[in-house]
A and B are shown apart, each in its own frame.
Chain A
Amino acid sequence: MQFGIFTVGDVTTDPTTGRAPSEHERIKATIEIALKAEEVGLDVFATGEHHNPPFVPSSPTTTLGYVAARTEKLILSTSTTLITTNDPVKIAEDYATLQHLADGRVDLMMGRGNTGPVYPWFGKDIRQGIPMAIENYALLHRLWREDVVDWEGKFRTPLQSFTATPRPLDGVPPFVWHGSIRSPEIAEQAAYYGDGFFHNNIFWPMEHTEKMVRLYRRRFAHYGHGTEEQAIVGLGGQVFMRKNSQDAVREFRPYFDNAPVYGHGPSLEDFTEQTPLTVGSPQEVIERTLTFRESVGDYQRQLFLMDHAGLPLKTVLEQLDILGEEVVPVLREEFARLRPAGVPESPVHPAVTAAREAAAAIKATSAASVTEEV
């Protein structure tokens, strides 16, 4: 199972100081957060994609390329890549390039984007969101699998004898997750291709997440990709931790109360009860996160939202230390112990597997040579 973080990339005023970071500070902070994720042993860093203020990540492969150059193991992903307003040809090119640069440590999560005014800036219409997601991904899927593509559709100019370059690393396309909170069509799409399904459950009651994942699993099996248990599922999570539960609540409350999404609405206590948000001790986060599998079955990827609502970089980095050092090691062990045989591992590119095996072999060899010297 993979553990990681995902960022929206919002520039939000810290409600306790009244100060908002500059775009420059926010972009640099995003890099520091990604590097920290690798340092503390997390598996995945995913960035959002937005084309309107107050968000900065309009160019995800630039950011991820920079992170790739400065990391060794971290898998770089998106949360999400806009399969609606982006040209699928450009997605194919950008992420295949990134895949080469990162030696396979790349996957993507497709999403539609829910901000109406953004679509016309790219010549699109939000009312066509689902049809665009379906057509554009159908094209992207072919561009990464067929060397020469003839294609015609509704939403972009036709292609004749087109080859997307570079070809995917070792001929293996990046793994794709489809993210959707409310649209059964997208769960169906993920199931049809045998791709992963990511439910960003952080703002929703778990019973809703449960229904969407159940639909995806059932249709995954229907399309013959394996049993329902073999479907590839990812979930979001949102936590704030301090050694003492009360300290976590006290420190996080002003951020919660003023957060862009749910601020000035329900109380922290109500929202914690109704959604996966957990504010408390590392042990409470461990216990809560372990309950997710009871709702959706054993799953492959758990991403946490850590840098939002105006939390200062220093605090975010502290949170990542706690997450990486105290929470994730226990979760890894517990999830592994509870997972029945037959539930698949998290998908990674063969190049990543090869690199891991090579690293393990070197470690074993050097351990052996140390032993010989003794």
Chain B
Amino acid sequence: MSATAPLKIVAVSAGLSSPSSTRLLADRLAGAARERLEAGQDRRVDVRVVELRDLAVDIANNLVTGFPPRALKEAVEAVTEADGLIAVTPVFTASYSGLFKSFFDLIDHTALTGKPVVLAATGGTARHSLVLEHALRPLFAYLRAVTLPTSVYAASEDWGSSGDEYTEGLPSRIQRAGGELASAVLGRTVSGASGAPGPDDGEDVVVPFEQQLAGLRLD
């Protein structure tokens, strides 16, 4: 990565209505991250939101055929190439939505290795807030992404209330998560991190045949 290339923040929103509170939360988190990134260094910050609703049929088709249609391929590339990721899902039946999971099912399991991720979810009731910890965090742990400590849950009432004696309000939680993402992205651009290569990274990735044979201890 060159020092002048823009920093890429990608937010994945699995909201289904338009406008949706899931999309709104994704936008707010991306905005908070952008603000902190722009304050901390000189590089431009590109924010892109991937709306899974627009890709719903492509996602289903990829599950059936095994390869992504063009728009989906491009969205997956945006996610895997992002410097920082924001993943937001509505809570459906006590977990992330099926569409959200299906999208991440289509990403190579090594492609998010080391990537900083903010986890976020929306729901009609605050009683589901731990879905972030018992569903989303294990999913991204499996993908070896670096999930940031602050995850953001927005229940319906959070949009119109401030914090209480136990919790900060939604805006300050968003600020905190955006700040954590910005710090992780800036730290990572120094240390670097990358996923393992897959077959589509193609031609330069090959284990020489002698080595494959040697692995079997054959003549």
A336 adjacent to chain B (CB < 8 Å): no
CA distance A266 to B216 in the complex (A): 42
Residues in A neighbouring B203, C-beta threshold 8 A: 211, 214-215, 218
CB-based contact A215/B202 at 8 Å? yes
Evaluate contact between B64 and A262: CB separation under 8 angstroms.
yes
Q: Is B18 an interface residue when CB atoms closer than 8 A count as contact? A: no
- A274 contacts across to B, CB distance below 8 A: 67, 69-70
Q: A135 and B65 in contact (CB under 8 A), knowing A188-B208, A189-B212?
A: no
A residues in contact with B217, CB < 8 Å: 154
Q: Is B205 part of the contact surface with A, judged by Cβ < 8 Å?
A: yes
Contact of A208 (CB < 8 Å), options: B67, B212, B213, B216: B67
Contact residues in B for A134 (Cβ distance below 8 Å) = 209, 212-213, 216
With A215-B202, A274-B67 known, 19 other A-B pairs at CB within 8 A are A130-B212, A138-B216, A153-B216, A184-B206, A188-B206, A188-B207, A188-B208, A189-B209, A211-B199, A211-B202, A212-B199, A214-B202, A261-B65, A262-B64, A265-B60, A266-B61, A266-B69, A270-B61, A274-B69
Label chain A's interface by main secondary structure. helix
Within 8 A of B (CB), among A222-274: 223, 261-262, 264-266, 270-271, 274
| Interface secondary structure of B, over-half rule | helix
Which of the residues B65, B200, B207, B212 comes within 8 Å of A265, measured between beta carbons?
B65
Q: How many A-B residue pairs have CB under 8 A?
A: 78
A212 to B205, CA, bound (A): 11
Measured as residues with beta carbon below 8 angstroms from the partner, the interface class of chain A is 35 or more
Tell me whether B19 is interfacial, beta carbon within 8 Å: no
The closest CB in chain B to the CB of A204 belongs to B67
Residues of B within 8 A of A214 (CB): 202-203
Whether, in the assembled complex, B160 has its beta carbon less than 8 Å from a beta carbon of chain A, the answer is: no
**Which B positions have Cβ atoms within 8 angstroms of A?**
60-61, 63-67, 69-70, 199-200, 202-203, 205-209, 212-213, 215-218
9 contacts between A and B (CB under 8 A): A134-B213, A135-B218, A153-B216, A182-B199, A185-B207, A188-B206, A203-B65, A211-B203, A266-B65
Instruction: Give the chain A neighbours of B60 by CB distance below 8 A.
Output: 265
Q: A184-B199, A211-B200, A215-B203 are in contact. Are A131 and B216 (CB under 8 A)?
A: yes
Residues of B contacting A135 with CB < 8 Å? Answer: 216, 218
Q: Does A115 contact B (CB under 8 A)?
A: no
A residues touching B (Cβ–Cβ < 8 Å)? Answer: 130-131, 134-135, 138, 153-154, 182-185, 187-189, 191-192, 203-205, 208, 211-212, 214-215, 218-219, 223, 261-262, 264-266, 270-271, 274
Complex Cα–Cα for A208 and B216 (A) = 29
Residues of A within 8 Å of B209, CB to CB, are 134, 188-189, 191-192, 223
Contacting residues, chain B, for A205 (C-beta < 8 A)? 67
> Are A203 and B66 interface neighbours, CB within 8 A?
yes
Q: Given A134-B213, A154-B216, A184 and B205 touching (CB < 8 A)?
A: yes
Across-interface contacts of B70 in A (CB, < 8 A): 274
Alpha-carbon distance A185/B209, docked complex (angstroms):
8
Please report the C-alpha to C-alpha distance between residue A265 and residue B205 in the assembled complex, in whole angstroms.
Answer: 31
List, in ascending order, chain A residues with CB within 8 A of B205's CB.
Answer: 184
